[in-house]
Amino acid sequence: MKLKVVLLTLLVLLIILIVMLVPSRTALVFYEKNTDNMEAFLPIKKGETFQVIFTHSIHLTDVVEKYRVTDDLTIEQYEIVYEKFGIGMPSNAEEGATFEYKDGKYHITDLNNIFPSMKIRNGKTVSKNRLVWGAENSEEGNMVWFNKYFEPGAWFTILVEKISLWEYVKGVKISE
C-alpha cells in the first residue's frame, strides 16, 4: 500500500513537472541582446498581428511596422506606414508590394518579408517605441510603451516561440 502511494505521488509530480516545463504556449518573446535571457513576452497565436511603432529620430514622426505570426512561427512583415521620406525610409515598393499615399501617410502593403527573428532597439535619443496588438488598426488595439518594460537604448532579439508554463508564470507578461 505504501509503495502505491509513493508511486502515485511520483507520477503526479512527474505530470506536474512535464506540464510546467514542456513549451506549449505561443508568445512573442523579447530576449536581451545576444542572450537567452527573456526580458518579456506577449502571448500571441498563429495568424495574429502586432505592430511596432517608433518615432523616427530625424523627422520625429511615427513609423508603423505591421507584422503577422505565420503558421511556422516566423514573423511576416506585411505593411509599413510613415509620414515623411528621409533617412532609412523607402521611397518606393519592391516587386510584388504596393506603394500608395492615403490619408496623409505613405503605405507600403503586400510585403512578404519573413523573419525568423528580429533585432530591435528601444529608442535612446527619441524613446517613443510602442507595441500594439489585438487589432489591425493601431488606434483600436492594445498598446504599451517599450519604456514600461525596457530601458531606453536597450537592444533585443524578438521571435515567436513556444514557452513553458513555468516561463509564462515567472516571466514578465506584456499587458495593457
pLDDT tens column, 141-173: 899 999 999 999 999 999 999 999 999 999 999
Q: Which three cell numbers stand for residue 99?
A: 506603394
Q: Is the pTM of the predicted complex or chain greater than 0.95? A: no
Look at residues 76, 111, 77 and name the one whose alpha carbon lies nearest to residue 92. Answer: 111
pLDDT tier at 138, thresholds 50, 70, 90:
low
Q: Let me know: does 62 contact 172? Beta carbons within 8 Å.
A: no
Count CB neighbours of 151 within 10 A. Answer: 11
Cα–Cα distance between 13 and 10 in angstroms, integer? 5
Hey, CA dihedral for 128, 133, 138, 140, is it positive or negative?
negative
User: Is residue 126 pLDDT above 90, yes or no?
Assistant: no
